[in-house]
């Protein structure tokens, strides 16, 4: 298995657009594997829309891969999403890493758009089937519970002949979804102990479905900060983790030094994960860039050794 370390954003930590692009340039000029944007449509704090961000990153880079962590299909139209992803993959020369989920039940989007959270799993399953067919170049007629199309098709098709389809979530339904249609599984911000049984469950479900997801297509993520738990950005993020995700901060945040981050990576690798999305806990242009550069300089050089661990 090869270990890949990407970096991601949820809330926008930059004061200026130039701060964001300085961050992207630093990632492009490093060994960072990929950049990721969390998907929310309605928030009280600044947060970029994931698909338009991917399109912008495609035009500003030549090496980096990029993905959505994860697009909530529960409140999006699959024809539009399929067309957007294919266009971005075409324009980037095949660097898009699409990742999909059903959307958090705590999201304000459900109430604001008049949709209930019930049935969002079935809606997502239906959308995934439509998207996969469109990416394969089919002309799609579809009469479903949630979507109805006649003769819909897209062109250009994705450059990647089989565009990756990463599935997020850790519920039993998400495990079945990943096993049925996924080319990879991407966990949320959970502890290594919480992720390991999900990886095992996805592998088992894929075998039952007569499929196999490559061993190096399982991912997870956590927040990181070179500093202390008393740092203001850490205090703020920890409060958000508890309020929004109902998790313990220590389970999904690593605060300290490079050795602490590497140790958390090792624990995930032992549980079957080899792809990572790490989010800097920072505030402002310089702080976010500084945290990311320390990750690049102090943690990424350990990746070859982590790869050996993954293969053992």
Q: Kindly list the structural domains of the chain, giving each domain's residue range(s) and its CATH number in brackets, ordered by start.
A: 4-311 (3.20.20.30)
Which contacts (CB < 8 Å, 24+ apart) does range 170-175 have? 170/194, 170/195, 170/198, 173/102, 173/121, 174/101, 174/102, 175/201, 175/202, 175/205
Q: Tokens 């995934």 — which residue?
A: 128
Predicted pLDDT at 7:
98
The secondary structure element, H or E, covering residue 143 is strand 140-143
Q: How many residues does the chain have?
A: 312
Give, in order, the Cα–Cα distances in Å from 230 to each of 221, 242, 244. 22, 16, 20
Low-confidence ranges of the chain (pLDDT < 50): none
Q: Tokens 């469950």 — which residue?
A: 201
Predicted pLDDT at 305:
83
With residues binned 3-state (H G I as helix, E B as strand, rest as coil), the percentages for the chain, rounded to 5, are: 45, 20, 35
d(CA 85, CA 82): 5
By three-state DSSP, how is residue 191 classified? coil
Predicted pLDDT at 241:
83
Which residues are paired to 149 by β-bridges? 142
d(CA 259, CA 56): 34
Residues contacting 243, CB < 8 A, separation 6+: none
d(CA 217, CA 185): 6
Within 13 Å and on the Cβ side, how many CA atoms surround 17? 3
**What is the phi/psi pair of residue 144, to 5°?**
-120, -175
Q: List helix spans (H) across the chain.
A: 17-28, 50-60, 78-92, 109-112, 120-135, 172-181, 192-208, 232-245, 249-252, 258-270, 285-294, 303-311
Question: CA torsion sign, 193 to 195 to 198 to 202?
Answer: negative
By three-state DSSP, how is residue 259 classified? helix
Tokens of 271: 């549980």
DSSP β-ladder status, 253-256 and 99-101: unpaired
> Model's pTM, two decimal places?
0.93
Residues contacting 143, CB < 8 A, separation 6+: none
Q: Please, are residues 168 and 187 in contact by the beta-carbon 8 Å criterion?
A: yes
Using alpha carbons only, give the angle 25, 263, 279 rounded to the nearest 5 degrees.
35
Predicted pLDDT at 308:
75
Q: Tokens 């080899």 — which residue?
A: 274
Closest by CA position to 71, among listed 56, 50, 53, 90: 50
Predicted pLDDT at 312:
65
Closest by CA position to 7, among listed 300, 301, 308: 300
Residues contacting 248, CB < 8 A, separation 6+: 241, 242
């Amino acid at each position: 298995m090869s270990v890949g370390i990407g970096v991601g954003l949820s809330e926008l930590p930059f004061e200026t657009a130039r701060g964001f692009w300085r961050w992207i340039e630093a990632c492009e000029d490093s060994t960072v594997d990929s950049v990721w944007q969390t998907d929310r449509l309605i928030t009280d704090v600044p947060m970029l829309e994931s698909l338009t961000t991917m399109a912008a990153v495609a035009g500003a880079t030549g090496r980096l891969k990029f993905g959505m962590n994860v697009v909530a299909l529960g409140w999006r139209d699959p024809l539009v999403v399929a067309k957007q992803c294919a266009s971005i993959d075409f324009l980037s020369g095949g660097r898009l890493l699409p990742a999909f989920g059903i959307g958090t039940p705590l999201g304000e989007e459900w109430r604001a758009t008049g949709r209930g959270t019930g049935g969002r799993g079935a809606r997502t399953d239906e959308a995934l089937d439509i998207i996969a067919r469109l990416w394969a170049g089919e002309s799609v007629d579809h009469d479903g519970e949630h979507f109805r199309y006649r003769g819909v098709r897209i062109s250009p098709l994705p450059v990647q002949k089989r565009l990756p389809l990463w599935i997020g979530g850790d519920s039993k339904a998400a495990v079945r979804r990943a096993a049925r249609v996924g080319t990879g599984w991407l966990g949320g911000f959970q502890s290594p102990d919480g992720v390991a049984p999900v990886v095992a469950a996805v592998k088992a479900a894929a075998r039952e479905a007569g499929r196999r997801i490559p061993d190096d297509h399982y991912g997870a993520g956590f927040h990181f900060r070179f500093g202390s738990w008393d740092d203001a950005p850490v205090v703020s993020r920890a409060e958000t983790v508890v309020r929004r995700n109902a998790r313990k901060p220590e389970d999904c945040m690593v605060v300290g030094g490079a050795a602490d981050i590497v140790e958390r990576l090792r624990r995930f690798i032992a549980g079957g994960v080899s792809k990572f999305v790490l989010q800097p806990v920072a505030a402002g242009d310089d702080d976010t860039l500084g945290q990311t550069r320390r990750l690049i300089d102090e943690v990424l050089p350990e990746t070859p050794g982590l790869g050996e661990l993954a293969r053992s």
